[in-house]
């Protein structure tokens, strides 16, 4: 059958297997020469694509939950949306929430996902207590930071290349209400935006929508959303605007250029700063919604290009990157900037600094531009996100992931027959 990622870049012919028991999975692994596990497939990348793909979606039971401690144990095919639907009402939230709600727990570990609170909470591995992994020989190994740490750290962020994650035990975050207190602040340019990030560090989460097509003194202008979990007192405070939806400019998709859309969106917030209370999912999935409106009429493929720059070089790197994008003929949309704290891990994407995600419609000139941007990313000691990549070269990977050799050694130790491979792992030489 044809198997692809969210944006159909790429799409290949593959055998798609699934399983609901350990024995079924063991048989699939033993019979296949090479294969790769897959979560929801809501991805931009080719790290869950190969000619044999194992879907984990039928292995999806919640096994235990401790109401006192907030520790949950579940199978790897459980989706984040399912956990939120059940546990937010009980006062427990996921500690790390990415912008896409249907990702699975297995993927959250395999890509060591981050959220808009990375500078406070780190990525998913920071909250993972232990996980069970089925290796290429069919054995099941439980690993944690204390027990079998090499397997643990090679599996967190290891893109499914050590084995199939079966079960995970991790910590949820206690919250007083399912609401979010948000302040939304306009930033005139990149410098302003960096300042706002800097003095917003006490907030639980921060994210900026950034206008990648603004130039000159407006270069890098945007709107920062800084946020904390709302308390019961916040909900009683009538001076706070209670909103069901995030403010959206009323724009007919397809009738406007991306530049005009960005400008209208930026100016749709009239005040420099706004405060309001919103349901948690409105915040976590806002930019998804904002950009899907303008994206609704796009039939073409798109690529999300995500980079991280170290803190000291972040401003200069982003400024140069925006200048290059601006002088190209590309029409990027839906760009967000977030702030990262320090991160352990062999292939985890975050590094202390800044991360920009830009969506580009795919066209023949795009890859020349991305090639130029890759060179810039290396010059500024940054890296691309493996979890959103379908084109990184081996050279870029090896230069930007300093622990890549350690990872390869461990991958071959735990998967000596090299059963677990993806299109991405072959391309980048793992």
Residues that bind ligand FAD (CB under 6 A): 6, 36-44, 47-48, 56, 76, 98-100, 103-104, 106-107, 110-111, 113-115, 159-160, 164-165, 288, 387-388, 422
> Minimum distance between the CB of residue 83 and ligand FAD, rounded to whole angstroms?
13
DSSP per position, 185-205: EEESSHHHHHHHHHTTTTSSE
> Minimum distance between the CB of residue 299 and ligand FAD, rounded to whole angstroms?
18
Question: Tokens 């991305």 identify what position?
Answer: 370
CA–CA separation, 380 vs 309, rounded Å?
7
> Minimum distance between the CB of residue 59 and ligand FAD, rounded to whole angstroms?
8
Question: Closer to ligand FAD at the Cβ: 35 or 278?
Answer: 35
Question: Closer to ligand FAD at the Cβ: 54 or 172?
Answer: 54
Closest Cα to residue 240, out of 309, 305, 181? 181
> Minimum distance between the CB of residue 14 and ligand FAD, rounded to whole angstroms?
13
Q: Which conformational region is residue 159 in: left (phi greater than 0), alpha (psi within -120 to 50 degrees), or beta?
A: left
Question: What's the token pair of residue 394?
Answer: 């081996």
CA–CA separation, 30 vs 22, rounded Å?
12
Question: Closer to ligand FAD at the Cβ: 111 or 196?
Answer: 111
Question: Closer to ligand FAD at the Cβ: 219 or 370?
Answer: 370
> Minimum distance between the CB of residue 113 and ligand FAD, rounded to whole angstroms?
3
CB 409 within 8 A of CB 375: no
**Orientation of helix 311-326 relative to helix 366-379, angle to 10°:** 160
Question: Closer to ligand FAD at the Cβ: 37 or 317?
Answer: 37
Question: Closer to ligand FAD at the Cβ: 44 or 87?
Answer: 44
Question: Closer to ligand FAD at the Cβ: 37 or 341?
Answer: 37
Which is it for the CA torsion 284, 9, 403, 162, positive or negative? Answer: positive
CA–CA separation, 296 vs 290, rounded Å?
10
Closest Cα to residue 319, out of 190, 217, 192, 224? 190
Which is it for the CA torsion 384, 338, 243, 84, positive or negative? Answer: positive
Question: Closer to ligand FAD at the Cβ: 60 or 189?
Answer: 60
CB 386 within 8 A of CB 400: no
> Minimum distance between the CB of residue 425 and ligand FAD, rounded to whole angstroms?
8
3-state secondary structure 135-148: CCCCCEEEEECCCC
> Minimum distance between the CB of residue 430 and ligand FAD, rounded to whole angstroms?
11
Question: Closer to ligand FAD at the Cβ: 7 or 234?
Answer: 7
CA–CA separation, 179 vs 225, rounded Å?
15
> Minimum distance between the CB of residue 36 and ligand FAD, rounded to whole angstroms?
5
Quick one: DSSP state of residue 35?
Answer: B
> Minimum distance between the CB of residue 288 and ligand FAD, rounded to whole angstroms?
6
CB 386 within 8 A of CB 111: yes
């Amino acid at each position: 059958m044809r198997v692809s990622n969210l944006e159909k870049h790429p799409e290949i012919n593959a055998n798609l297997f699934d399983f609901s028991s350990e024995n079924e999975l063991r048989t699939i692994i033993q019979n296949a020469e090479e294969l790769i596990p897959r979560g929801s497939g809501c991805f931009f990348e080719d790290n869950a694509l190969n000619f044999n793909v194992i879907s984990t979606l039928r292995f999806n039971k919640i096994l235990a939950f401790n109401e006192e401690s907030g520790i949950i144990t579940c199978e790897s095919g459980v989706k984040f949306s399912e956990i939120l639907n059940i546990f937010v009402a009980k006062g427990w939230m996921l500690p790390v929430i990415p912008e896409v709600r249907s990702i699975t727990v297995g993927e959250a570990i395999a890509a060591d996902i981050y959220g808009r609170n990375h500078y406070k909470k780190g990525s998913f591995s920071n909250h993972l207590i232990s996980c069970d992994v089925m290796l290429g020989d069919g054995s099941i190994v439980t690993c944690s930071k204390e027990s079998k740490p090499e397997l643990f750290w090679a599996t967190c962020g290891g893109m499914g290349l050590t084995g199939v994650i079966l079960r995970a035990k991790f910590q949820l975050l206690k919250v007083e209400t399912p609401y979010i207190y948000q302040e939304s602040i306009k930033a005139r340019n990149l410098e302003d935006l960096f300042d706002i990030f800097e003095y917003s560090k006490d907030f639980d989460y921060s994210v900026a929508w950034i206008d990648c097509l603004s130039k000159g003194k407006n270069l890098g202008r945007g709107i920062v959303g800084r946020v904390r979990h709302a308390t019961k007192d916040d909900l009683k405070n009538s001076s706070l605007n209670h909103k069901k939806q995030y403010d959206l400019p009323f724009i007919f998709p397809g009738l406007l250029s991306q530049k005009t859309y960005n400008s209208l969106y930026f100016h749709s917030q009239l005040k420099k700063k706004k405060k309001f209370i919103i349901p948690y999912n409105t915040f976590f999935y806002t930019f998804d919604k904002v950009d899907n409106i303008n994206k609704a009429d796009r039939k073409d493929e798109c690529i999300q290009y995500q980079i991280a720059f170290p803190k000291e070089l972040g401003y200069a790197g982003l400024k140069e990157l925006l200048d290059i994008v601006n002088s190209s003929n590309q029409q990027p949309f839906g760009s967000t900037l977030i702030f990262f704290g320090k991160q352990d891990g062999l292939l985890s994407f975050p590094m202390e600094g800044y991360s920009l995600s830009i969506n580009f419609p795919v066209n023949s000139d795009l890859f020349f531009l991305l090639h130029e941007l890759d060179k810039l990313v290396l010059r500024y000691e940054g890296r691309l996100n493996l979890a959103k990549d379908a084109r990184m070269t081996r050279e870029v990977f090896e230069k930007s992931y300093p622990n890549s050799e350690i990872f390869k050694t461990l991958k071959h130790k735990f998967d000596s027959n090299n059963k677990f491979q993806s299109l991405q792992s072959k391309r980048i030489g793992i």
